[in-house]
Amino acid sequence: MQRAVVRVCRTAASRPANLSRARYLHHLNRQVSPTHEQRIAAHHGRRSGAAGALLRQVCVVPVVAGVRYVSKTVKVPTMAESLSEGTLKQWTKQVGDFVERDEEVATIETDKIDVSVNAPEAGTITELLAQEEDTVEVGQDLFKMEPGEGGSAKTEAAKEETKGAAKDKAAEEKKEDKKESSATPEEKKDSSSKATEAKQESAPQPEKKQQPAPQPKKQESLGNRSEKHVKMNRMRLRIAERLKESQNTAAFLTTFNEVDMGAVMEMRKLYKDEIEKKHGVRLGFLSAFAKACCQAFKEVPAINGAIVGPGAGDTIVYHDYVDLSVAVSTAKGLVTPVVRNIESLDFVGVEREIAALGAKARDNKLTLEDMAGGTFTISNGGVFGSLMGTPIINLPQTAVLGLHAIKDRPMAVNGKVEIRPMMYLALTYDHRLVDGREAVTFLRLVKEYIEDPRRLLF
């Protein structure tokens, strides 16, 4: 790294009278050492007079390739209105690493998603101002960087210094090994015998040999009984808080029904290949239930409503749109990305949106916008083999529909026993807003639409 000498002068004259112009410029432009700076300052300081004493300040600043860089501090970015802090989960870059513009430097874990902190411009990381697992707030200084194209000379010098220290250490170890190996066998034997004699002389001699105490009988091994303690991540903590908040706020009640999936399965069998070939999406069952719920909301709007306001809430909101929260299981926990305006989408549109959000959830790329809102939730535990369950309401929503596994069961059809593919449905609702009659009516309508999907066309 080069060094430039910056001088700030307060004097009537631009240079000392006893110093020629060429020599003065030579002093300004040459690379100087601290002792040389002191010598020049002392020499110039001798002059005083009516023009005023010469006052100089000498400082050394870094200059790389003729350009002077200024260290830049990067702060924790704004994440969302509801998020003011997070946990610094990982540094993806370290001190000395060069980063391009918008390249990820750190990952911050929040209550809902992971936020990437990117470099605002190309440069070299010079200092990390927080450690992993620290809680960081929006606007807090996070790291420092030295802007510029390519690695800085300072970084290269540090790397060369590290390499030199490693080489010196290796050379010293090699020298010691060589010195030890050069000793003759007689010298090694003599040294060993002297050490043994000294050890025997210094060791205390026992007065009387004592009999060892009898060892207790060993118990039979109970196998491996180890434990592993893992700290809960912010998302898991937030999930726990929200579930308890929901449980303590809403008046939970669950009603059940069962639906014959034969008609929907037949429709899927007929059109899934054509839809996948034409639109590039797979036709599943979730789109049918989403559209069935939209139709049922027209007759039971309270299921798509919410209670809002201070405390436990004092205002009812009835939505004339349907933003469907779809429960997706990830490695970090359950997330509920939202498909907007389900009522205006067809089967293919619903499946496309669900597939896109599911992929983003599994790749940990969901944004806060993907998670915000939602007027109703569908949770499909059937993909994991669940036969029956009571889902928990996602506040401030009023209800959640739980889907379960499809099982062949004997059913009475037109006075005859037939084996039909059956699924249990569970609707958990907030009894503060939804009465039992409304909940049962809604679930019965969903059942009718699924058992005759042609009704969804009008």
Q: SS3 for 372-387, per residue?
A: CCCCEEEEEHHHHCCC
Same domain (yes/no): 127, 40: no
pLDDT at 417: 97
pLDDT: which is higher, 311 or 80: 311
pTM of the model: 0.64
- Where does a domain end: 125, 147, 169? 147
Q: How confident is the model at residue 60 (pLDDT cuts 50, 70, 90)?
A: very low
Does residue 431 have an active-site annotation? Answer: yes
Same domain (yes/no): 301, 348: yes
Q: What percent of the chain has pLDDT over 70?
A: 68
pLDDT at 357: 93
Q: Cα angle vertex 145, ends 141, 150, to 5°?
A: 160
| Segment 166-178 mean pLDDT | 60
Same domain (yes/no): 291, 373: yes
Give the residue numbers spanning the domain of 81: 72-147
CATH number (domain holding residue 290):
3.30.559.10
| Segment 371-394 mean pLDDT | 94
Domain-embedded: residue 217: no
Q: How confident is the model at residue 50 (pLDDT cuts 50, 70, 90)?
A: very low
pLDDT at 69: 54
Same domain (yes/no): 35, 142: no
pLDDT: which is higher, 86 or 207: 86
Q: Judging by beta carbons within 10 Å of its beta carbon (0-12, 13-18, 19+), is residue 428 exposed, middle or buried?
A: buried
Highest mean pLDDT among 151-160, 204-213, 425-434: 425-434
Q: Are 358 and 392 in contact (CB under 8 A)?
A: no
Same domain (yes/no): 409, 382: yes
Name the DSSP class of 212.
Answer: P
Same domain (yes/no): 42, 136: no
Domain-embedded: residue 343: yes
Same domain (yes/no): 341, 397: yes
| Segment 66-72 mean pLDDT | 63
How many residues are given for the chain? Answer: 458
Predicted confidence (pLDDT) at residue 37 exceeds the cutoff of 80? no
Of 353, 362, 351, 400, residue with least CA distance to 380: 400
Edge to edge, the sheet with strand 324-326 lists: 252-260, 416-430, 399-413, 376-380, 324-326, 338-339
CATH number (domain holding residue 86):
2.40.50.100
178: left (phi over 0), alpha (psi -120 to 50) or beta: alpha
Ranges 149-153, 412-416, 421-425: which has the least confidence: 149-153
Q: Judging by beta carbons within 10 Å of its beta carbon (0-12, 13-18, 19+), is residue 304 exposed, middle or buried?
A: buried
- Tell me the pairing of strands 399-413 and 2-9: unpaired
pLDDT: which is higher, 83 or 245: 245
Domain-embedded: residue 92: yes
Q: Are 300 and 442 in contact (CB under 8 A)?
A: yes
pLDDT in tens, 83-131: 788 888 889 999 999 999 999 999 888 877 788 899 999 999 999 999 9
Catalytic residue among 26, 134, 431, 452: 431
Domain-embedded: residue 29: yes
- Where does a domain end: 90, 114, 147? 147
SS3 157: helix
Domain-embedded: residue 212: no
Same domain (yes/no): 271, 295: yes
Catalytic residue among 141, 177, 346, 435: 435
- Where does a domain end: 63, 85, 109? 63
Domain-embedded: residue 319: yes
Domain-embedded: residue 199: no
pLDDT: which is higher, 405 or 49: 405
Does residue 435 have an active-site annotation? Answer: yes
pLDDT: which is higher, 20 or 115: 115
Domain-embedded: residue 194: no
355 — phi, psi (to 5°)? -65, -40
Distance CA 93, CA 76 (A): 15
Same domain (yes/no): 108, 32: no
pLDDT at 183: 52
Q: What is the average pLDDT value for the chain, to the nearest integer?
A: 79
| Tokens 């002389």, residue located | 201
Query: In sequence order, what are the beta bridge partners of 118?
Result: 104
Distance CA 120, CA 90 (A): 18
pLDDT at 269: 94
Q: How confident is the model at residue 148 (pLDDT cuts 50, 70, 90)?
A: confident
The count of structural domains within the chain is 3
